[in-house]
DNA sequence: GTTGTGATCCC
DNA sequence: CCATGTATCACAAC
């Protein structure tokens, strides 16, 4: 009884964050080790022109030259124009997925955790509270995991251990790549205070800039701001989150049962287009792709949305709720078509660059059969 | 509460 | 004509 109380104390948890290093590019290195010492750039080619698209992930050799995620391929090429051999590869999501699955099943075979959370293809949290007696045991376990990943899958990762998710993630980030770092409770403030605010998840380009404009650059400076000020400036929820994060407090639970809330498919058109039939056929492809994902996950949906991105990269959304949950393809394509026609009717000239289809308000199909009697 | 839209993040 | 694809959340308006 007393022990259980301890385990439930959120301050006393043992949380481990594992992050596979430069994952997509590392997968390519695993497939073809001969490219290891060259800059490797895994790219999303949009198909508009031969070179249009962005860099998804690059290895650390490429990063030395200033290559970053999200950078246009053209920009990356100009940064690397003096380098003799550079490897540009298109994303091969399915291949990365197979490596990812192997890696996580290996991790879970070593750490018999009840509570874990997999995020995307390259990240997970493990709650080691109930299987380790302290950070020391957790360290041994984590190093064991690191070794197995490296020896069996040739995969390097960075690991952070601390007593909550926020700090575990900051810790894994801290010594990347192939890193390992622990943040003990009594060291938290000292370690995080001098870090840039961008180490806090949720502070990206926009929020970093806003905070900088308020004179806040480091975590310490953030912690010195009044919480009511932060709430007023950034909204209640995010403001409170910022304040608590700045002093290392985070009580987010680890839970593996986070279900998809939406499924989106976005596509860049080959050329700007106001040709209705052309766009409609593209939309129809996206619908089919979403439909197969819905079937794959056995999900019903109740909301259908469209995303339009025009030649000026302005984003517009249109969506509508359906009368009830459904899994029919027609219940997807019909609203998509009507939303599209509604949207274009408000424009004289339309230059679409990218289009997207989204379904949300998702629900597992299971059990639904029993409920139909009552509907 | 429900519904629709835009902002932001991360890669 | 450099700028992907996907997910989550806040918030306004009803």
CA–CA separation, A375 vs A373, rounded Å? 6
In this complex, which residue's CA is closest to the C1' atom of nucleotide C5? A266
Q: Gap from A354 CA to C4 C1', in Å?
A: 10
Q: Are A171 and A22 in contact (CB under 8 A)?
A: no
Please give the pLDDT value at position A351: 82
Q: Are A198 and A208 in contact (CB under 8 A)?
A: yes
CA–CA separation, A215 vs A317, rounded Å? 34
What DSSP state is assigned to residue A133? Answer: S
CA–CA separation, A288 vs A281, rounded Å? 11
In this complex, which residue's CA is closest to the C1' atom of nucleotide C1? A311
Nearest to A174 by CA among A159, A189, A162: A159
pLDDT in tens, A224-256: 999 999 988 898 889 999 999 999 999 999 987
Q: Are A363 and A299 in contact (CB under 8 A)?
A: yes
In this complex, which residue's CA is closest to the C1' atom of nucleotide B8? A206
Nearest to A193 by CA among A160, A166, A217, A210: A217
Residue A79 phi, psi dihedral angles, 5° rounding: -70, -25
Please give the pLDDT value at position A272: 73
A258 touches strand C (CB under 7 A): yes
Residues in chain A where the model's pLDDT stays below 50: 1-8, 371-375
Helices (H), A154-196: 165-174, 188-193
pTM of this prediction?
A: 0.92
Window 203-242 of chain A: CB closer than 7 A to strand C: 235-238
Q: Gap from A30 CA to B2 C1', in Å?
A: 49
Residues of A recognised as catalytic? 123
pLDDT in tens, A166-190: 999 999 999 999 999 999 999 999 9
CA–CA separation, A206 vs A196, rounded Å? 14
Nearest nucleotide to A354 (CA to C1') is: C4
A255 touches strand C (CB under 7 A): no
Please give the pLDDT value at position A96: 96
Q: Gap from A35 CA to B5 C1', in Å?
A: 45
pLDDT in tens, A272-309: 777 888 899 999 999 999 999 999 999 999 999 999 99
Please give the pLDDT value at position A10: 59
CB within 7 A of strand B: which residues qualify? A 23-24, 54, 56-57, 69-70, 120, 201-208, 210, 303, 305, 315-321
Q: Report CA dihedral (A17, A110, A144, A178) to the nearest 10 degrees.
A: -40
Q: Gap from A332 CA to B2 C1', in Å?
A: 20
Assigned token pair, A186: 């009594």
Helices (H), chain A: 2-8, 23-31, 60-63, 73-79, 93-110, 135-153, 165-174, 188-193, 205-213, 219-223, 227-234, 236-246, 276-297, 330-344, 368-371
Q: Gap from A362 CA to C11 C1', in Å?
A: 22
Please give the pLDDT value at position A365: 85
A288 touches strand C (CB under 7 A): no
């Amino acid at each position: 009884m007393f022990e259980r109380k301890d385990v439930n104390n959120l301050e006393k948890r043992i949380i481990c964050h594992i992050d596979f290093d430069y994952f997509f590019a590392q997968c390519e290195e695993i497939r073809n080790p001969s490219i290891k010492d060259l800059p490797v750039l895994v790219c999303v080619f949009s198909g508009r022109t031969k070179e249009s698209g962005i860099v998804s992930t690059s290895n650390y050799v490429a990063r030395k030259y200033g290559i970053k995620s999200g950078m246009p391929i053209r920009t990356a090429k100009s940064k690397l124009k003096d380098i003799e051999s550079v490897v540009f590869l298109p994303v091969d999501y399915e291949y990365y997925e197979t490596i990812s699955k192997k890696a996580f099943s290996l991790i879970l075979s070593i750490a018999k955790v009840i509570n874990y959370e997999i995020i995307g293809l390259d990240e997970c949290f493990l709650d080691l509270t109930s299987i380790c007696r302290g950070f020391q045991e957790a360290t041994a376990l984590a190093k064991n995991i690191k070794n197995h990943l490296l020896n069996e899958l040739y995969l390097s990762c960075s690991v952070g251990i601390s007593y909550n998710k926020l700090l575990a993630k900051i810790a894994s980030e801290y010594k990347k790549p192939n890193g390992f770092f622990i943040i003990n409770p009594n060291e938290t403030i000292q370690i995080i205070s001098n870090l840039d605010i961008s180490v806090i998840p949720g502070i990206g380009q926009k929020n970093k800039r806003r905070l900088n404009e308020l004179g806040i650059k480091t975590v310490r400076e953030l912690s010195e701001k009044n919480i009511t000020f932060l709430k007023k400036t950034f909204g209640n929820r995010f403001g409170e989150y910022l304040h608590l994060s700045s002093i290392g407090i985070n009580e987010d639970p680890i839970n593996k049962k986070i279900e998809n809330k939406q499924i989106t498919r976005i596509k860049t058109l080959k050329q700007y287009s106001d040709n209705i039939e052309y766009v409609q056929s593209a939309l129809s492809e996206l619908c089919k792709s979403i439909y197969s994902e819905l079937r794959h996950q056995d999900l019903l949906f109740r909301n259908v949305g469209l995303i339009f991105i025009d030649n000026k990269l302005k984003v517009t959304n249109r969506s509508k709720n359906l009368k009830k949950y459904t899994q029919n393809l027609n219940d997807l394509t019909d609203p998509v078509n009507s939303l599209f026609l509604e949207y274009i009717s408000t424009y004289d000239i339309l230059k679409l660059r990218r289009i997207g289809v989204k379904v949300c308000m998702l629900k597992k199909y299971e059990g639904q059969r029993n409920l139909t009697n009552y509907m």
